[in-house]
Amino acid sequence: MREPGDSRQTNGREPPRLPRATWPPAFTAKRPPSAATSGKGSAEARCGERRPGGTGATSQEAPSPVDLAGRQQTQDEVIAPLRRSGASGGGAGTGKATSRRAYQPRADVIRNGLHACRRGILQVGAFSVVINLLMLTVPLYLFQLSDRVLTSRSIDTLVMLSIIAIGALTLLVVLDALRRFVLTRIAVQLESLLGAPVMSAALRSADVGATRDIQALRDLQQVRSFINGPVMLVLFDAPMAPLYFLAVFLIHPALGVIATGAGVVLFGIAVLNERMTAKDYGVAGNFAMRANIQASAQARNAQVIGAMGMLEEAILLWGRENAASMKAQIHANDRNIYLASVSRYVRLVTQVGILGWGAYLAVRGSVTGGMMIAASLIASRALAPIEGAIDGWRGFVQAKSAYRRVRSLLDAPANDTERMLLPKPEGRVQADKLLYIPPGTRRTVLNGVSFTLEAGDSLAIIGPSGGGKSTLARMLVGCIAPTAGSVRLDFMDLRNWDRRQLGESIGYLPQDIELFPGTIKANIARMREDATDEEIAKAAALAGVHEMISGFQDGYETEIAVDGSPLSGGQKQQIALARAFFGDPRLIVLDEPNANLDTMGERALAAALARARHQGITIVLVTQRPAVLQSVNKILILREGQVAAFGERDQILPRLMAQTQDEALAAAPATAPGVAAQTQA
């Protein structure tokens, strides 16, 4: 795509555009132009976005659930919460430093989302009050038929009462439908408002090494399903139960005592149900989540599983977690079913008791037959919310657990800080006494790692496997945070950079290459719709992959599947390398960039590194192959998490080669004297 105002000739045709990727709306919505594409003014323009309390003109008020009833939600409405919560970040703006206004912490996202749905919740509450009043229609109708129509034998009274009852029931059905419609829209709106912040928080938590998973989105869907479900209606109906008990008391105090006593018993059963099933439902949910993680991992490695005959082991790993989940769920369900049956028994016995005692009172002349029937129906309605809560307790527990996980994710400190937009970095990198101990372990992966790179330097990190090279590479781009020490880009700790701006200033090629479903062009452009064709072509040329891409029938429009087909391993690595070069980054970190490359690919990589150095880009690459060492000017040797040597290539390389030869001679078996004599002869 081209920027607005581009005057290039297109022969009367609309300029080609990046195809919209198949992602959720929150990730395909238009963003403000990044600094990499819009120049100096983008950072200042982005600071004008409205934050809560700000004065910008770009933010829109969240639509109410009723407003969403007749139209499809726009992409701007979906992405607005992401912008307000700080997930969109800023571009790598140039020029003077700027800052945002009125940042909204993610801890407030749920509160503000519920506030946006307040109008719909109030509507549902009002509908529920009227609906529960209209629920008295049938008992009152039967009461009037028994005590007025049958005694007076008046057809006119019967017709009038029937018309009133039918009208009331019609209104009840309409209001109940409206209540369900509004609840559906509340659920959709809440997921739309929270989806982008939750996704952002989950990805950021994964970046810093937390054990978060995209399970957070499933949790959000669980909350939405609960809002759409019948238990939510029970919760709205429950506050009206005292009205029904009062109505039974007004018919006769003795009948009211029976109904209220049954309500107390059912409430006790509900509390007992919560205590007896909550723990097992929680255990079942945790094991189900672990089973889903296993299934996702096995789906990603389906080819390896099939090729190496690991199908039975894969099913066993998934089956253990799934079986543990089902075991806990069955245990909880058994208790829930037992208590639900007891509650139903109590309700039915209560109806029989009210009818029997009502008949006794009717015989004595204290009540009429119609009052007896009405009391039974009203008492049944009063007990229905409690019984419904017991029946739907499983869904309530699951939704509550999902809500807590979502809230815990959004409350995480790593996601709750807004950063000032800094000038575009030049590429100076400083690692100061880095210490890294993975969470939950005592193993030291990095210990006291320190070095400094000037802008335009190129560093090769080498060393034996397991020495912490990939961990250091991830730390240099901010994927994980050090346990102690700091990584600084242009004198500023990476943790103090705006994440969006930092990402636009960094290129990263991980050891495990993953491309997104979509076109080659979209993958190189980092899935950004505001990327221009010139930027994409520049990144491909800089990475030396333009010729390779041209060999495909559809060129840059070639579609990439979830598993990366039709690209080979080396081609995926080259596309990922072009993605790392996209957007004029000032620091590029490459982890084993030549792992899947042949000789020609390594030559193209060396040429790409040379072009990057010529443009003043700071390069850090992790490698095991000596061929790439000629493309750097500095070398760092990392052994057991510590710096064994660091300096200029011409100083380190001879020492490294001599050390390698000494190790080879020491490892070689001693030559037998006879063999040595024959060799000399």
Residue 146 pLDDT grade (very low, low, confident, very high; cuts 50, 70, 90): confident
The arithmetic mean of pLDDT across residues 279-302, rounded, is 83
Cis peptide before 585 (omega within 30 of 0): no
pLDDT value, residue 105: 54
What is the biggest distance separating any 2 CA atoms in the chain, rounded to whole angstroms?
137
In the chain, % of residues over pLDDT 90: 24
| pLDDT of residue 597 exceeding 80 | no
CA distance 133 to 130: 5
> For the chain, what is the radius of gyration of the CA atoms?
34
Q: pTM of the entire structure?
A: 0.63
DSSP label at residue 609: H
pLDDT value, residue 666: 65
Residue 147 pLDDT grade (very low, low, confident, very high; cuts 50, 70, 90): confident
Query: For residues 122-136, b (16+ Cβ closer than 10 Å) or e, as one string?
Result: ebbeebbeebbebbb
Strand partners, 560: 518
For residue 536, which of 554, 556, 514 has the smallest C-alpha distance?
556
Q: In what order do the strands lie in the sheet with 446-453?
A: 446-453, 429-436, 484-489, 492-493
Contacts of 132 (CB under 8 A, 6+ apart): 237, 240, 243, 244
H or E segment to which residue 436 belongs:
strand 429-436
CB 44 within 8 A of CB 540: no
CA distance 151 to 144: 10
State the architecture of 429-666 in CATH terms: 3-Layer(aba) Sandwich (3.40)
pLDDT value, residue 500: 85
Each domain of the chain, given as residue ranges in start order, spans 110-415, 429-666
CATH dotted code for 110-415: 1.20.1560.10
For residue 42, which of 88, 76, 104, 102 has the smallest C-alpha distance?
88
CA distance 639 to 658: 17
Tokens 């939750």 identify what position? 198
Residue 663 pLDDT grade (very low, low, confident, very high; cuts 50, 70, 90): low
| pLDDT of residue 677 exceeding 80 | no
Q: Which of 49-53, 209-213, 296-300 has the highest mean pLDDT?
A: 296-300
Centre a 10 Å sphere on the Cβ of residue 288 and count the other Cβ atoms it contains: 20
CA distance 315 to 310: 9
Query: Is beta strand 429-436 parallel, antiparallel or unpaired with respect to 484-489?
Result: antiparallel
The arithmetic mean of pLDDT across residues 285-306, rounded, is 81
pLDDT value, residue 133: 92
pLDDT value, residue 72: 40
Q: Name the token pair of 220.
A: 């959000």
List pLDDT tens digits, range 514-559. 888 889 999 999 988 888 999 999 999 888 888 889 888 989 999 9
CB 354 within 8 A of CB 375: yes
List pLDDT tens digits, range 462-485. 988 888 899 999 999 988 889 999
Of 523 and 401, more confident: 523
Contacts of 139 (CB under 8 A, 6+ apart): 373, 374, 375, 377, 378, 381
Residue 499 pLDDT grade (very low, low, confident, very high; cuts 50, 70, 90): confident
Q: To the nearest whole number, what is the mean pLDDT of the chain?
A: 78
